[in-house]
């Protein structure tokens, strides 16, 4: 099939390259000229395990191409995916400017029947809006569909190739048939393709992300309670996860969720409720708990040192989670801002996300490609992201390099008793504090 994917970011590029890999001819389109020019040279530009090789393979076989030219891309495609960004507005609502502008732009080149599919995460009613916008500009026959993406950064290729489910929201049997055919190669192992109405499809993405975010905020609230009552969140979490109805996923306490999806999708869901005269009370609480989690962590640091001015802090981990260079809404951003705002000096390490962090903080943070280098003469090490390489570090080396053996661990990587035995002041999330119950 001939496919166009509009928007060549994390989702668009993965979608385009995976669909090319299953034998389709795919054109990835973006308005960002430098991104397209880099992609044409084989530079993927984002850190996503396995993506470079799949892009390279499909470019070589000429099934995957990149362009900034709407006319040629739309005219030659039958299925057109909208995978542009839907960032949050100031009030939490989803900014649909990119979706609308892509829809209007593509509508000029409708030369035959096409299916326009919203893959971006969009509020209920957006796919219908896309249909209405296109209809104002063309007399050509076309269908719209919703096909939200559930991939996770860091395992995006695997998630796309072996999805838990593929959701298709349609209103026409013709579009349903085509999309089922397109996704057939991804169903070989009996993965579920769920066909629903468009509005349910759109809402299912928000509901799924908000549910996962709820689990994270829930366990963080319980972790905070553990600190107050003198309980141990690891024990509590393990007991909870043994219950099959609860399960093990998404109940790890920490600095809270970040990234380009959960924070904006929870906020957008709250806004969707507001637009429909409904207060999303639970989602609002989930959002608040998440925001406070970063503040509470910083307060622990402040409480320990009393005065932060001129203190030096080493940050391990900048990306919002491991295996990605994405720092959007990462807790590390708030932690760095709090510290810098208090007059402290910040040094940072991340295996892949430092360049993105530099764009935000430029000269106000010192970076190193060696995670031990930044520890020298620091007052404390702060852990923001649970990268594997931080999980079993050389604690003696850390102790020797730090000015004082202090670790604030926002991801609960180490055993509290072991750290105490090694002579560290070790503060993490959801454990009885060293200086007693507050």
Ligand X SMILES: NC(=O)c1ccc[n+]([C@@H]2O[C@H](COP(=O)([O-])OP(=O)(O)OC[C@H]3O[C@@H](n4cnc5c(N)ncnc54)[C@H](O)[C@@H]3O)[C@@H](O)[C@H]2O)c1
Among 2, 75, 98, 161, binds ligand X (CB under 6 A): 98
Q: Considering only residues 152-211, where is the footprint of ligand X by CB under 6 A? A: 153
Among 20, 54, 84, 157, binds ligand X (CB under 6 A): 84
Q: Considering only residues 255-284, where is the footprint of ligand X by CB under 6 A? A: 260-261
Q: Is 49 exposed, middle or buried (0-12, 13-18, 19+ CB in 10 A)?
A: middle
Question: Counting contacts by CB under 6 A, is residue 217 touching ligand X?
Answer: no
Total residues interacting with ligand X, rule: CB under 6 A:
26
Question: Counting contacts by CB under 6 A, is residue 6 touching ligand X?
Answer: yes
Q: How far is the CB of 199 from ligand X (least distance, A)?
A: 17
Structure tokens at 424: 């560290």
Q: How far is the CB of 301 from ligand X (least distance, A)?
A: 30
Helix axes 233-242, 198-229, angle to 10 degrees: 140
Question: Counting contacts by CB under 6 A, is residue 16 touching ligand X?
Answer: no
Q: Whole-angstrom Cα distance, residue 438 to residue 425?
A: 17
Question: Counting contacts by CB under 6 A, is residue 101 touching ligand X?
Answer: yes
Among 17, 86, 146, 354, binds ligand X (CB under 6 A): 86
Structure tokens at 118: 């919203």
DSSP 94: B
Cα→Cα distances 401→118, 397, 419, Å: 51, 6, 16
Q: How far is the CB of 151 from ligand X (least distance, A)?
A: 5
Residues contacting residue 380 through CB under 8 Å, at least 6 positions apart: 301, 304, 305, 311, 313, 314, 402, 404, 406, 407, 408
Radius of gyration of the chain (CA): 24
Among 27, 28, 30, 320, binds ligand X (CB under 6 A): 30
Q: In this structure, how many other beta carbons lie within 10 angstroms of the beta carbon of residue 437?
A: 10
Question: Which CB sits closer to ligand X, 205 or 416?
Answer: 205
Residue tagged active-site, from 18, 261, 283, 378: 261
Question: Counting contacts by CB under 6 A, is residue 232 touching ligand X?
Answer: no
Q: How far is the CB of 407 from ligand X (least distance, A)?
A: 30
Structure tokens at 393: 């570090």
Question: Counting contacts by CB under 6 A, is residue 151 touching ligand X?
Answer: yes
Question: Which CB sits closer to ligand X, 127 or 427?
Answer: 127
Our CA angle for 223, 245, 264, nearest 5°, is: 55
Q: How far is the CB of 400 from ligand X (least distance, A)?
A: 39
Do 58 and 64 touch, CB atoms closer than 8 A? yes
> Catalytic site residue 283?
no
List contacts with ligand X (CB under 6 A).
6-12, 29-32, 35, 83-86, 98, 101-102, 120-121, 149, 151, 153, 260-261
Q: State the catalytic residues.
A: 261
């Amino acid at each position: 099939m001939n496919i166009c994917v509009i928007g060549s970011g994390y989702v668009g590029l993965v979608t385009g390259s995976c669909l090319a890999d299953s034998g389709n001819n795919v054109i990835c389109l973006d308005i960002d000229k430098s991104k397209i020019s880099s992609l044409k040279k084989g530079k993927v530009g984002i850190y996503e395990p396995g993506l470079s090789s799949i892009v390279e393979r499909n470019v070589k076989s000429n099934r995957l191409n990149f362009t900034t030219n709407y006319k040629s891309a739309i005219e030659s495609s039958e299925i057109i995916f909208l995978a542009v960004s839907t960032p949050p507005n100031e009030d939490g609502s989803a900014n649909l400017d990119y979706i609308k502008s892509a829809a209007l732009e593509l509508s000029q080149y409708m030369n035959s029947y096409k299916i326009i599919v919203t893959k971006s995460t969009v509020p209920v009613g957006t796919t219908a809006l896309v249909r209405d916008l296109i209809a104002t500009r063309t007399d050509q026959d076309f269908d719209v569909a919703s096909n939200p993406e559930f991939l996770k950064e860091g395992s995006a290729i695997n998630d796309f190739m072996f999805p838990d489910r593929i959701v298709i929201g349609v209103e026409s049997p013709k579009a349903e048939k085509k999309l089922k055919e397109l996704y057939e190669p991804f169903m070989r192992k009996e993965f579920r393709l769920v066909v629903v109405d468009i509005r349910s499809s759109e809402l299912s993405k928000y509901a799924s992300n908000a549910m996962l975010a709820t689990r994270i905020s829930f366990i963080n609230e319980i972790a905070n309670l553990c600190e107050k009552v003198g309980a141990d969140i690891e024990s509590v979490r393990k007991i909870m996860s043994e219950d099959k109805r609860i399960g093990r996923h998404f109940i790890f306490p920490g600095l809270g969720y970040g990234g380009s999806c959960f924070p904006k999708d929870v906020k957008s869901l709250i806004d969707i409720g507001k637009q429909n005269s409904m207060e999303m009370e639970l989602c609002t609480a989930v959002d608040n708990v998440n925001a406070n989690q970063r503040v509470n962590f910083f307060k622990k640091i402040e409480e320990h040192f009393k005065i932060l001015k001129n203190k030096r802090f080493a940050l391990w981990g900048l990306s919002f989670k491991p295996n990605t260079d994405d720092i959007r809404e990462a807790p590390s951003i708030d932690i760095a801002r709090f510290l810098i705002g208090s007059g402290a000096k910040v040094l940072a390490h991340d295996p892949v996300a430092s360049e993105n962090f530099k764009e935000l903080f430029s000269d106000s943070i010192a970076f190193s490609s060696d995670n031990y280098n930044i520890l020298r003469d620091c007052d404390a090490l702060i852990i923001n992201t649970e990268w594997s390489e931080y999980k079993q570090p050389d604690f003696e080396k850390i102790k020797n390099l730090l000015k004082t053996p202090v670790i604030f661990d926002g991801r609960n990587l180490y055993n509290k008793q072991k750290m105490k035995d090694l002579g560290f002041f070790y503060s993490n999330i959801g454990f009885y504090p060293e200086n007693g119950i507050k």
